[in-house]
């Protein structure tokens, strides 16, 4: 779902719109299946150009008796060679980047495992897929926990140029989930 900037502007002003956002964006791409935990990080935009690729920070599966988090971060690789990322969890390693063979990233879907309750290990977001301008679908190198939700809207007459992630901080001895949700931005 793409929301006009004027609707979300007042909601995001206290947390995210500061000196870091140096360029304007047209719309925000969201999905409805993001997780409930954590706080939104800063909006991070490519200084110029668009996102043509991405990488994920993923914690490997630790086993039944350990606390898995799955997806911890998302990086966008911009057409000008810059790399941008928003808030990122502390666990895992970065995967190899994936790039659109033609054009840039224009929409996404998030794979989410629903909260499992007090006695089970929650991971929440576990993977992401993107659509490229050429119609190709890129799937992240991550876990298959949960299901992919509906696709976001597409950037209209532009491409994805930035992101903002919602990440739960380290819960100590509690159940850690790390990345719960993400928004992507379409620039003019």
Decide: helix, strand or coil at residue 12. helix
Going from N- to C-terminal start, the domains of the chain cover 2-187
Take residue 71 and report the two structure tokens written for it: 């997806």
Take residue 5 and report the two structure tokens written for it: 């900037």
Residues 113-152: tens digit of each pLDDT = 876 665 555 667 889 999 999 999 999 988 777 889 999 9
Going through 79-178 in order, the beta strands assigned E by DSSP cover 83-85, 93-94, 98-99, 105-112, 125-132, 137-139, 147-148, 159-167
Residues 42-83: tens digit of each pLDDT = 999 999 999 999 999 987 766 655 656 788 999 999 999 999
User: Could you tell me which CATH number the domain at 2-187 has?
Assistant: 2.100.10.20
Q: In what order do the strands lie in the sheet with 105-112?
A: 137-139, 125-132, 105-112, 147-148
Segment (H or E) for 10: helix 5-12
C-beta neighbour count of 158 within 10 angstroms: 17
DSSP 28-91: EE--S---S-SEE---EE-SSS-EEEEEEEEPPP--TTS----EEEEEEEETTS-EEE----SS
Enter the pTM of the model: 0.81
Take residue 50 and report the two structure tokens written for it: 């668009």
Of residues 123 and 25, the one with the higher pLDDT is 25
Q: What's CA 41's distance to the chain center, in Å?
A: 11
How many degrees, rounded to 5, is the angle at CA 125 between CA 122 and CA 131? 165
């Amino acid at each position: 779902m793409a929301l006009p900037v004027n609707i979300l502007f007042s909601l995001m002003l206290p947390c995210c719109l500061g000196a870091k956002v140096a360029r304007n964006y047209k719309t925000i791409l969201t999905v409805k299946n993001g997780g409930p935990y954590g706080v939104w990080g800063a909006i991070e935009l490519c200084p110029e150009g668009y996102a043509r690729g991405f990488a994920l920070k993923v914690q490997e599966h630790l086993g039944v008796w350990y606390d898995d988090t799955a997806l911890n971060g998302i990086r966008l690789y911009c057409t000008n060679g810059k790399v941008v990322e928003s808030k990122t969890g502390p666990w895992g390693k970065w995967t190899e980047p994936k790039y659109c063979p033609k054009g840039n990233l224009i929409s996404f879907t998030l794979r989410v495992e629903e909260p499992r309750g007090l006695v089970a290990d929650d991971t929440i977001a576990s993977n992401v897929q993107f659509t490229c301008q050429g119609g190709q679908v890129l799937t992240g190198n991550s876990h298959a926990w949960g299901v992919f939700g509906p696709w976001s809207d597409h950037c209209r007459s532009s491409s994805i140029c930035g992101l903002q992630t919602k990440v739960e901080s380290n819960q100590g001895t509690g159940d850690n989930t790390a990345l719960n949700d993400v928004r992507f931005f379409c620039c003019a």
